[in-house]
């Protein structure tokens, strides 16, 4: 038997047959799931203005490092908009992407862009450039794909859930008393108090990723977008079975052992734990907002086209419809949170983002 973390690492990231590593479309209509950047380029365009403002306010190098860039649509939208709104700050845009398929997709979109580069890992980047990074580190739906351990409170004891095979070679779960002090300590430090029978994911890798990011970053910002639950959220009855799920052809699959290597696996991140770990590392929290509110604050409404177009398939209609989808509290942004943390900042408390008025582009 193996841990769920080992299982996820294999079925998602194995170099030969892992879901993310395969030469197969994963995003959009022909894939298994959507992301906000796939709704419309306006998502990335709005962030380009926000990124430029951060760079100018803190006199940072015009450098963005995106972790897990997917198909490259977000990066392209940011770079295209950046070129329109500034002529005196050349942008260096780096993507760190483990998936060979997605690196190939990114090259198709961005290969001709000056200032674009990509690496398979942070280690590869640091081998190329040993200097510590200054600029903006960005990720969108990265942490939810990290391998996690799965535990459950059973007869007042903490047990870990393992993956094994039955006599017919079907994947099954087995439970054993949790012997990993690291998991027990993590829950005591960051997690909620589990109720009898409650299952939850323990994202040990989130700690090590944030630590590596902190070591990599000399001065700048960390912008993280993802969906997750607070400690209070985790105590609700509907969270009793945890959040590890699969997405297969846009259908949510409750059993994560179905369709191994053919299905995306994802978990909701521990929002409070993310903030606590970042704070422990010395990263200053500047803002934490629902994505819909954040997009309003950074000026998404500025992109609305005023003139009504009766053609629902026109570019103007598509743009307006996408904006409404992204800022609606019941739309795709409803589940997402945006965190902005700074390191070595001098002006963070004066951002207009903190005012009650919408952020002005």
Give the DSSP H or E segment for 86: none
Domain count, the chain: 1
- Whether 82 is in a domain gets the answer yes
- Whether 361 is in a domain gets the answer no
Which residues constitute the domain of residue 336? 2-354
- Whether 156 is in a domain gets the answer yes
CA separation, residue 186 to residues 39, 338, 339 (Å): 36, 23, 22
Which residue's structure tokens are 């369709």?
259
User: Please, is 243 exposed, middle or buried when counting C-beta atoms within 10 Å of its C-beta (0-12, 13-18, 19+)?
Assistant: buried
Q: What is the pLDDT of residue 33?
A: 52
pLDDT means per 10 residues, the chain with 361 residues, are 97 93 68 60 92 93 95 94 90 96 93 94 93 96 96 96 96 96 97 95 97 97 96 95 91 93 94 97 94 89 68 70 77 85 76 43 32
Q: What is the pLDDT of residue 360?
A: 37
Does residue 43 contact residue 37 with C-beta atoms inside 8 Å?
A: yes
- Whether 307 is in a domain gets the answer yes
Q: What is the pLDDT of residue 356?
A: 42
- Whether 359 is in a domain gets the answer no
Handedness of CA 193, 195, 200, 204 (dihedral sign): positive
Q: What is the pLDDT of residue 345?
A: 84
Q: What is the pLDDT of residue 309?
A: 61
- Whether 107 is in a domain gets the answer yes
Does residue 91 contact residue 64 with C-beta atoms inside 8 Å?
A: yes
> Running DSSP on this structure, what letter comes out for residue 171?
E
The enclosing domain of 170 has a CATH number of 3.40.50.12710
| pTM (two decimals) | 0.90
Q: What is the pLDDT of residue 301?
A: 83
């Amino acid at each position: 038997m193996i841990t769920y973390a080992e299982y996820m690492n294999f079925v998602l990231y194995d170099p030969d047959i892992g879901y993310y590593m395969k030469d197969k479309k994963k995003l959009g209509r022909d894939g298994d799931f959507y992301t906000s950047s796939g709704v419309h380029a306006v998502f990335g365009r709005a962030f380009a203005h926000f990124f430029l403002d951060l760079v100018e306010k803190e006199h940072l190098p015009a450098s963005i490092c995106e972790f897990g860039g997917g198909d490259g649509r977000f990066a392209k939208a940011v770079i295209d908009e950046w070129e329109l709104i500034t002529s005196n700050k050349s942008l260096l845009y780096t993507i760190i992407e483990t998936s060979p398929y997605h690196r190939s997709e990114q090259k198709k979109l961005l290969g001709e862009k000056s200032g674009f580069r990509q690496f398979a890992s942070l280690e590869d980047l640091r081998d190329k450039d040993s200097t510590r990074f200054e600029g903006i580190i960005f990720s969108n739906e990265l942490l939810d794909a990290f391998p996690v351990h799965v535990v459950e409170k059973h007869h007042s004891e903490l047990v870990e859930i393992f993956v094994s095979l039955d006599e017919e070679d079907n994947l099954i779960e087995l439970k054993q008393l949790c012997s990993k002090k690291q998991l027990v300590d993590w829950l005591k430090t960051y997690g909620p108090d589990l109720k009898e029978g409650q299952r939850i994911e323990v994202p040990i890798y989130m700690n090590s990723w944030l630590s590596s990011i902190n070591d990599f970053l000399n001065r700048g910002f960390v912008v993280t977008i993802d969906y997750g639950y607070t400690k209070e959220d985790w105590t609700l009855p509907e969270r009793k079975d945890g959040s590890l799920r699969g997405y297969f052809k846009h259908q949510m699959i409750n059993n994560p052992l179905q369709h191994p290597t053919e299905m995306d696996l994802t978990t909701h991140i521990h929002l409070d734990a993310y903030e606590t770990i970042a704070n422990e590392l010395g990263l200053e929290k500047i803002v934490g907002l629902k994505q819909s509110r954040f997009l309003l604050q950074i000026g998404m409404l500025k992109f609305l086209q005023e003139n009504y177009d009766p053609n629902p398939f026109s570019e103007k209609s598509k743009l307006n419809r996408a904006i409404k989808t992204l800022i609606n509290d019941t739309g795709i942004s409803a589940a997402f949170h945006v965190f902005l943390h700074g390191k070595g900042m001098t002006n963070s408390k004066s951002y207009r983002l903190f005012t009650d008025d919408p952020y002005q582009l």
